[in-house]
Amino acid sequence: MQILSQILFVAALSLAAYFISRRVMLIKNTIQLGKAEDRSDNPSERLRTMLLIAFGQKKMFNRPIVGLMHFIIYAGFIIINVEVLEIMIDGVFGKHRVFAEPLGGLYNFLINFFEILALGVLAVCVIFLIRRNVTKVQRFQQTRHREMKGWATKDANIILITEILLMWAFLSMNAVDSILQERAVGHYAEVITGDFWVSQWLKPLFIGLSETVLVAYERGAWWFHILGIMAFATYVTYSKHLHIFLAFPNTYFSNLKAKGEMTNMPTVTKEVKIMLGLEEPDVNPAEVGRFGAKDVKDLSWKNLMDAYSCTECGRCTSSCPANLTGKQLSPRKIMMDTRDRLEDIQKGWLATDKKAPIASFDDSKTLLGDYISEEEILACTTCNACVQECPINISPLDIILQLRRYKVMEEAQAPASWNGMFSNLENNMAPWKFSPSDRFNWVEGLNK
């Protein structure tokens, strides 16, 4: 029976590793659909940004209470899963609490610490479920934000409930284990750890059960805990909670420029310099590519990583002045739509010839038009509030600007008021319809 258990455990671990690695490679290839962009400068500044924003969650604490609760879930769940290492060794080699004897008193301290964190994770997950489904925090509501309809809301609830169940399995497993130690049942009597700080309070729930039932529950909780973590790790690659892992590279490759600085198109900049005599034209000029972006392949790889890293927290949308005044624009939806487009490309490619590169797949759809509307991108004021608010430095604005550039420069479709401004900039070097020589007429008479 023990050998069969070991075989099943190794098989489950191998299966999870296969599906996770397969999914990771698919996401990597999908992100690489984006255009090249150099984000290798200032490595020390990038490392500092990653440690502050991703590891230290600095921007989450702009809202202290929610930030603290999120940190408890984040730190608690990650640290608790250090204990998974012991479970994996136990499962592969057929042992029970393999670290207990070599670590001695330190082992009990660590498990006690893990249990406190587990209790914190469980409590905060319950609070977050209440916030989403009972008190109904506005930025998560389907009636106000259409992007939160359907799967987006279900996904968040699935994750929270899963974490609650995993923490319960961990704590109740320890409680039953200590009862079996006291009764000197089988191999449980070989490792005496005694009671733990949190799980000891759960013992009254199980104390009246028979040894057979207790052993069955302990083994069931043990299998549920480890298989649940394997399933969770696989599911995360399909979920918004992929940010658990992508937050680190995404913040490392953050845009280090000032938020108000917009990136000019190199082709246009070169043409302007040639017109001003600041640069000589190329003898054999390269073919000019597409201005702006119509589909995800026109965006940079960093834009696509942003989309996969989005936590769907809605802080960007809740701070967007266009959204607050009733416009269709929701920065969160921009990121979710971009990821949806990438996922649809993946599904289409997987359903056809997987021998061909994913970049060759074409379903005649585009990000602009089929996923994101013209009304949305024109509503943006480029105020950078969404960029400022994002806990992991995602920039919906960058995608909006590139889609807008395509609409204006490739399709020559811009609101009439914009065309008037463009004409004034070209002729008067200012957005206003005044001759440059008349620009300071307003100061006349100020000293009278």
Which positions ≥6 away from 250 have C-beta within 8 Å?
A: 54, 243, 305, 306, 309, 392, 393, 394
Tens-digit pLDDT profile for residues 180-230? 999 999 888 888 898 999 999 999 999 999 999 999 999 999 999 999 999
Which positions ≥6 away from 268 have C-beta within 8 Å?
A: 291
At residue 178, the pLDDT reads 94
Q: What percent of the chain has pLDDT over 90?
A: 58
- Give the C-alpha separation, 240 to 21, whole Å: 18
The candidate with the shortest Cα–Cα distance to 336, out of 319, 318, 320, 317, is 317
- Give the C-alpha separation, 160 to 138, whole Å: 19
- Give the C-alpha separation, 85 to 112, whole Å: 16
Rounded to the nearest angstrom, the gap between the alpha carbon of residue 328 and the centroid of all alpha carbons in its chain is 23
At residue 286, the pLDDT reads 66
**In the chain, what are the domain boundaries?**
2-31+63-252, 266-438
At residue 412, the pLDDT reads 84
Tens-digit pLDDT profile for residues 412-433? 888 888 888 888 887 887 888 7
Tens-digit pLDDT profile for residues 61-111? 988 999 999 989 888 877 777 778 888 888 888 888 989 888 888 999 999
Mean pLDDT of the chain: 89
Q: How confident is the model at residue 249 (pLDDT cuts 50, 70, 90)?
A: very high
Indicate the residue type of 152: A
10 Å CB burial of residue 296 (0-12, 13-18, 19+) is buried
Task: Name the one residue in this structure whose structure tokens are 């209790």.
Answer: 119
Task: Give the pTM.
Answer: 0.89
The candidate with the shortest Cα–Cα distance to 396, out of 322, 345, 344, is 322
For residue 276, pLDDT over 80 is answered with no
- Give the C-alpha separation, 115 to 195, whole Å: 11
- Give the C-alpha separation, 38 to 29, whole Å: 18
Tens-digit pLDDT profile for residues 218-244? 999 999 999 999 999 999 999 988 998
Q: How confident is the model at residue 125 (pLDDT cuts 50, 70, 90)?
A: very high
At residue 448, the pLDDT reads 60
